[in-house]
Structures are given as C-alpha cells and as structure tokens.
Amino acid sequence: MTKKQLIQEALKAQQMAYVPYSNFPVGAAVLTRSGKVYTGCNIENASFGATNCAERTALFKAISEGETAFDSIAIVGDPKAFTAPCGICRQVLVEFGLDITVILAKSEEDFKEYTMEEILPLSFTPKDLENKGGTA
Ligand code: THU
C-alpha cells in the first residue's frame, strides 16, 4: 500500500461523509502495521456535539476489529487546503503511538507528512499512567 493508494482510499471514504450542517466532508484511511486499511468519514448530528470526525470513525472501525498497531493515516478535507486532525482526534491517535505517520492530502499528488510526535508535542499517553501513585 503506497501513500498515494492510502490517499485514494481516504478520498473514496470522503464521498460517504454525512455533513448536512457543515457541508465539509472529510475522509480518512488508516493503514495498520499488518497491512490492512480501514476508512472513515465524518458523521454529523443535529445535536452538534455528537458529531464524529473521519479520523475517529476510521480508527474506531479498526480498533473494534482488533487492530491497535498503526503505521499511518491519510486525511483529506478541503481540496484547496491541508486539513489537519482536531485535538480530540490527535489524542485518540497518540494513544496508539507517537510514531504514527499523519498524511495530510489535498490530492493524491499534493500531500504533507508528519509524525504524531510533531503534531501533538508534550502529549499525555498510556505511559503517563504506568507509575500512578509513584514519586517519579
Ligand atoms: N472534521 C473531521 O472529520 N476531521 C478533521 O480533521 C477536522 C474536522 C469534521 C468535523 C465536522 O463534521 C466538520 O469536519 C467541520 O468541523
């Protein structure tokens, strides 16, 4: 699976976005370390806070199928600008690794890459709960 193919998957998922309120469709495709791809779109709700972002839709689909080791995620939103994951999605992503590659794409040809560590520095991760109650 190339980066271009992963972006293609995200673009396909974007077509399924349910966005009657924002009219801002987003698509995401997550590649597992085992080589599988799970896709997601944003799903809005009349009760706005119940909206689920594309990234979390893709991740939750993967996690609910037993996948927790992720290589990368491709995200597509506005074709004229790079759409970066929101804070909540960054927190969900970092749970599964600071080394996950985040691909922000305007198109298959036009994309940028970051690591989770770069886009969520000084993060709170499962490691922080390892010594709870300790003095360290
Ligand atoms: N949204 C995503 O799905 N992912 C992002 O990275 C940014 C925002 C969605 C949430 C909402 O449906 C719409 O975009 C506008 O905020």
Ligand 1: residue whose CA is nearest its atom 5: 85
Ligand 1: residue whose CA is nearest its atom 14: 24
Q: Verify whether residue 55 is a known catalytic residue.
A: yes
Task: Point out the catalytic residue in the list 55, 65, 108, 109.
Answer: 55
Domain ranges of the chain: 3-131
State both tokens at 35.
């080589």
What's the CATH superfamily of 3-131? Cytidine Deaminase, domain 2 (3.40.140.10)
Instruction: Please give the distance, rounded to the nearest whole angstrom, from the Cα atom of residue 20 to the centre of ligand 1.
Output: 12
Task: Encode pLDDT of 90-129 as tens digits.
Answer: 999 999 999 999 999 999 999 999 999 999 999 999 999 9
pLDDT band for position 131 (cuts 50, 70, 90): confident
Instruction: Please give the distance, rounded to the nearest whole angstrom, from the Cα atom of residue 17 to the centre of ligand 1.
Output: 10
